[in-house]
Structure 1
Amino acid sequence: MGGIEWDALLLSLKVGAASTALCLPFAIGVAWLLSRSRLPGRALLDGIVHAPLVLPPVVIGYLLLISLGTRAPLGAWLKSTFGIQLIFTTEGVVVAAAVMAFPLMVRAIRLSLDSVDRGLEVAARTLGASRLDVLFSVTLPLMLPGILSGAMMAFAASLGEFGATITFASNIEGETRTLPLAIYTATQTPDGDAIALRLVALSMALAVAAITLSEWLHRRTQRWLGRH
């Protein structure tokens, strides 16, 4: 592979890891609210969280643009107060990927949380464990398969994100040009077919590897928890 392919690959891996780490704590919190709380408007929250799964990615990118762009109130405040500019930057790619991958992670974690036997939590409480102790010693370990699966699915989704990224962060070589954007650029370039083909093969290999690893981690943690 040439320098273009390596740059796109390394940037994609960096964005995938960063967006997954950014999503994880919020995904656990939102999954908990959707599964365990009696929060009014929970159905509305569920719809908002999962909206990126059904909305065109370019719509999500546009919403990010008008909310986090340098001329938007929030974006202007971030830049003037903290010197943070998300539009046209790698950090912006991370945010776009995180928003698109977030519902996948929430869904996996919520399904795992729904399957946790609440009787075990009640038993721990009757034995004197605090709510925090129950969370870290009972609930989170039992949620682990969903957390790992959700993280890997979010990582895989981040590797393939295109629409929101190009709308919000543009297509800048070495800064925002991830694998999907590099493929798009190669297809628009004369004699770029060979590069595009190599990038497509690389993207497919990464996607299959991520999904396979997700399934393997799920099975291993299920075995470790004694469920199979």
Structure 2
Amino acid sequence: RAFDQIRMSQYSNSNIKFVGSHAGVSIGEDGASQMGLEDIAMFRTLLGSVVLYPSDGISTEKLVEKAAAHFGNVYIRTTRMDTPIIYSKEDDFKIGGSKVLKESKSDVVTICAAGITLHEALKAYEKLKKENIVVRVIDVYSIKPIDKDSIRKAQKETKAIITVEDHFAEGGIGEAVKSAASESSPVYILAVRKMPRSGKPYELLDYEEISSEAIIKKVKEIIR
């Protein structure tokens, strides 16, 4: 209902900034009807739209500033859960950019994530590192436009890309990354694929197989 009005606005050269919070299974007990698991897909369909997904307070503040300065429709997805601060005030963010948070010459797989699942990716990185498995972690905070260069560089330098998102598989981060990637290596998509239910946030991340443990499992499947 509301999206039809948003869709119509694109034909009027509109300049509207939208912020969606309480999206994804990580909202927890509110239940499936409140999870907004299609929001990224819907806003990606708008002509010339920008879709941003910050992961902490600092990146949110910086991306709100970028959105305000940009002419056109912008959607920012924020996270309900309390999350650790990843970035410093000195970090810069741009529309169409990304942040490579973990990188080495020994990386076997690249994990692309944003928002709540970026924190899960970083947890997976630390656990895998203890087993001498090194992965690259990219914050794809700009989902549209997406940073093709960092994705294709990661493809050349690692065996595969895993995307992780608190969103349905259709139209989300995974498909955005896949559309930017070359065919040189595979892209595996971890996303919400089961009917969501009410529960504790971390229980639901595990249930939908988008938690740090699910990431670790997928990495090991790829490299074995």
TM-score normalised to the size of structure 1?
0.29
Query: Who wins on radius of gyration, i.e. which is larger?
Result: 1
Q: Which has the higher contact order (CA 8 A, sep 6+)?
A: 1
